[in-house]
Amino acid sequence: MATKIDSGFTIIESMLFLGVAGALTVAILAGSGLAINQQRYRDSVNSLKSLLQEQYSEATNVVNDRAGTEACANNAVIVSPPDAVTSPQLRGTSECTIMGRFITIDSTGKLVNTSSVVGYHTPGAAEATSDIAEIKTNYKLGISSLSREEFDIAWGAEVVKPQTTTVMPFSMLILRSPLSGSIMTYTTEGVTADLIGMVDAANVNKTVNLCLNTPATAIAGGRMAVQIMPYATNQGSIQVPPGEMNVCD
């Protein structure tokens, strides 16, 4: 009488197979999720870099947003509509000029505000001997209410101080000199409304690292920064330092 042999898997073998397959699936999904989060983090860094670079184009290729029904007062504030004292001024007929861009990162580290900077030249003022002296002595600076924009930093990232997780509010002023026409960049920690106060040599010659943090996500390879170089004059002055520099961790 022949012996009958049943082929197939035992319960133990099936359970081992399912366990290994499940573990592999979890590992693949976890790796995929990490890769997606890492790409999103890089996108947030590059988006902030691009936004800051765009401000130099805005400062160089000036667009006057006034329709001609507004007026620019002697404190560099655009009045729209004009009040009972100030009459409408056609574009190019006031003592005001668009001189650059003002950028802030708010107290949450997640919201970026941009706007044009208006300068009011004191009529009859004697020309100063340097770019900074000309602005501080002969101009008042204001923020245009016609060109303000807000941007959220992508994917919930926030700007923090290097080597910490402390949020870093920040102000950046890009000005075109009325004397030489050259572009100068002034930076300071915190959000300020004192634009003239920012126009100082001490705010020109420093490297600024805006480190980006994502509190809810592990970041492979360390955190990245958007770096503003000293004496920044153009888009090339805004960089993302290579990972080996490790400016944030």
pLDDT for the residue numbered 145: 81
Q: Which two tokens stand for residue 220?
A: 């492979």
* pLDDT tens per residue across all 249 residues of the chain: 555 555 665 777 666 666 665 555 444 444 455 688 888 899 999 999 999 999 999 999 877 666 666 767 777 777 766 565 566 666 665 778 889 999 999 999 999 999 999 999 998 999 999 999 999 999 999 998 888 999 999 888 999 999 999 999 999 999 999 999 999 999 999 999 999 999 999 999 999 999 999 876 667 778 999 999 999 999 999 999 997 788 998
Residue 43 sits at φ, ψ, to 5 deg, of: -60, -40
pLDDT for the residue numbered 82: 57
pLDDT for the residue numbered 87: 67
pLDDT for the residue numbered 170: 98
- Mapping DSSP onto H, E and C, the string for the chain reads CCCCCCCCCCHHHHHHHHHHHHHHHHHHHHHHHHHHHHHHHHHHHHHHHHHHHHHHHHHHCCCCCCCCCCEECCCCCEECCCCCCCCCCCCCCCCEEEEEEEEEECCCCCEEEEEEEEEEECCCCCCCCCHHHHHHHHEEEEECCCCCEEEECHHHCEEECCCCCCECCEEEEEEECCCCCCEEEEEEECCCCCHHHHCCHHHCCCCEEEEEECCCCCCCCCCCEEEECCCCCCHHHEECCCHHHCCCC
pLDDT for the residue numbered 78: 73
What are the pLDDT digits (tens) for 72-121?
777 777 776 656 556 666 666 577 888 999 999 999 999 999 999 999 99
CA torsion through residues 236, 225, 54, 78, sign: negative
pLDDT for the residue numbered 132: 95
Residue 218 and residue 34: Cα distance in Å, rounded? 8
pTM, two decimals, is: 0.82
